[in-house]
Structure 1
Amino acid sequence: MKFLENSKLEAINSALTIENGDCCVIGRLESYSCKMAGDDKRLFKTLSHEGDPNELTVLSPPQTMMSSISPAAYSASLSADEGENPLNYACSRKTLYYLISTLNASFRPDYDFSNAKSDEFSREPSVNYVSNFINSSLGAVLGERYNRLSSLLWTTINEEINLDDCHVYSYNPDLDSDPYGDEGCLWSFNFFLYNRRMKRILFFTCKAQSSSLDDKSIHEDPIDEFEFESFNTNLPLIVP
């Protein structure tokens, strides 16, 4: 995967490192082109030996799905895409390869996800459903601080990945594989916004950490430190 530099995402990332009372939030947004590099090619060959790259592999049920959303409603929300079956929690082996490669690129050199299994991933119902989950999670911890940031955050994401054309996947590891499995982590999420037409993935990873164990380098209120006027915020907000 090729990392795509984006100054707006970098500013958002700085603003997503926020301390608030007894906990702090540390978030990252990173954009990747689905372009194979040396290590990626070796991983792809390994996965290809396990079966046809276009063959479906079963994923876990959506991690963000509430009890009020039935599996039937989830299935109905999925579009029939080439290589993917809307009736199952599944994706192609090639898509799974992209997700694993994104994790490797984002967390290297500290972690290697090459042996991650398909049941550690989920396909989420929709972009709107995941955006509401993210807004609720961050809003509950950060309150007004996140309210001041959320509109710009989703506008910037939309500019980079075009949300209307995205499928969303999540990574839900066990404790041994979790890069956020350290002491003091209150919750975390790892979402992949995948635009097949653009051949691009936007990775949104975030954790809430107990402040008592937190890095002293975290800003008191980083949102005030950035000049957001330079951003193009005239695009319509796709996600409420």
Structure 2
Amino acid sequence: MKLLPESSGFEAINSALNIETVDASIMGRLESYSCKMVGQEKALYKRFHSFSGLSDMQALSPPQSMMEASSPHSHAKLRSILRSSQSSGGEDSPLADKINRKTLFYLISTLNAAFYPDYDFSNASSQEFSREPSVEWVMRTVQKQMMAVARAEFMAVESELWAALDSAICLRECEIYSYNPDQTSDPYSEDGCLWSFNYFFYNSRLKRIVFFTMRSVSQYCATPLDTEMIGDTCMDFEDDD
């Protein structure tokens, strides 16, 4: 996956999506990627595509937007319940959804490019991803989350955010996916991460993906940079008796 030059057009939006609140630091970014495979990706795709243990269509998990905007613990519990329902219901289950291997490879490659060199998602399962019902559904989910934690700041950038996305990827033509990893695979599993989301807007005609990711980290926890410098994690607070 190649980061496209137009990603620089997201700079103002990305700056506005980095917000300091009383309790947390909120960090967001938009990035546009070409689905053209580069370098070692071609060899990786051949191995990924030829693996005999995989059928062409892979099962997805239920949409992230079905999850409550709550703690990672609640998310994991609900995902487990929904995945069990999906498994017991078979292909005719209303929760069943699938993705072809090539599109799945694009999503995994986007994650690898976005979080390079700190993380490798090459072994990610299709069930760590979901297909979102519609653009409107995602917009409402993002709005609900952001209005709860940074209402004024989000209202100031909301219209520009969706306009920039539409200009870059043509939202009405997109399939929208989300990445919902377990705690061991989550790049945002650092101490103090309160919530996060990761959306992929995939336009097969344009052969590109816009990646939209945000997370909130408690102000009472050290940033990754602080952690490297002073070797600390979260501060411990104890009641004085």
TM over 0.5: yes
Whether 1:28 and 2:29 are equivalent positions in the alignment is yes
User: Aligned-pair distance for 1:50?
Assistant: 2.0
Give 1:9's aligned residue: 10
**Secondary structure, aligned partner of 1:153:** helix
CA change 1:214–1:10 in 2 (3 A) is: farther
Tell me, in whole angstroms, the C-alpha distance in 1 between the residues paired with 2:139 and 2:115.
Answer: 23
Secondary structure at the aligned position of 1:64 is classed as: helix
Q: Cα distance, 1:165 vs. partner?
A: 0.2
Q: Would the alpha carbon gap of residues 51 and 191 (structure 1) be closer, same or farther in structure 2, given more than 3 Å must change?
A: farther
Aligned to 1:120: 128
Write out aligned runs for 1:67-82 (5 A).
none
Asked if the contact 1:53–1:94 (Cα under 8 Å) also holds between the matched residues in 2, the reply is no
CA distance in 2, matches of 1:154, 1:17: 16
1:89-168 to structure 2, matched below 5 A, reads 89-168=97-176
Q: Partners in 2 of 1:137 and 1:211 — Cα distance?
A: 18
Amino acid corresponding to residue 106 of structure 2 in structure 1: Y
Instruction: Give the Cα–Cα distance (whole angstroms) in 2 for the partners of residues 15 and 170 of structure 1.
Output: 22
Which whole-Å deviations, capped at 9, do the CAs of 1:131-169 have from their partners, x for residues lacking one?
A: 111111112111111101101111111100000100100
| Aligned counterparts of 2:222 and 2:205: Cα–Cα separation in 1 | 40
Amino acid aligned to 1:191: Y
Amino acid in structure 2 at the alignment position of 1:15: A
CA contact (8 A) 1:54 1:94 kept: no
- Partner residue in 2 for 1:194: 202
Moved more, 93-102 or 137-146: 137-146
| More displaced 10-residue stretch of structure 1: 35-44 or 200-209 | 35-44
Partner of residue 178 from structure 1, selected from 186, 203, 206: 186
3-state SS of paired residue (1:12): helix
Inter-partner Cα distance in structure 1 for 2:202 and 2:196: 20
Q: Does 1:49 align with 2:50?
A: yes
Q: Which has the larger radius of gyration?
A: 2
Once the 2 structures are TM-superposed, how far is the Cα of residue 49 of structure 1 from its aligned partner?
A: 1.4
Distance 2:48 2:56 in 1: 11
The CA distance in 1 between the partners of 2:44 and 2:95, in whole Å, is 28
Amino acid across the alignment from 2:56: E
Higher helix share: 2
* C-alpha contact 1:24 1:214 (8 A) present in aligned 2: no
Instruction: Output the CA distance in 2 between the equivalents of 1:28 and 1:43.
Output: 27
> TM-score, normalising length from structure 2?
0.78
Figure out how many residues of one structure are paired with residues of the other and give that number.
200
Match of 1:238 in 2: none
Which runs of at least 4 in structure 1 moved beyond 6 Å after TM superposition? none
Per-residue deviation, residues 14-43 of structure 1 (Å, max 9, x unmatched): 111110111121011000010101121122
Matched residue type, 1:23:
A
Q: RMSD of aligned C-alpha atoms?
A: 2.3
Instruction: Give TM-score scaled by structure 1 length.
Output: 0.78
Moved more, 3-12 or 198-207: 3-12
The answer as to whether partners of 2:62 and 2:95 remain within 8 angstroms in 1 is: no
Name the SS for the 2:66 alignment partner.
Answer: coil
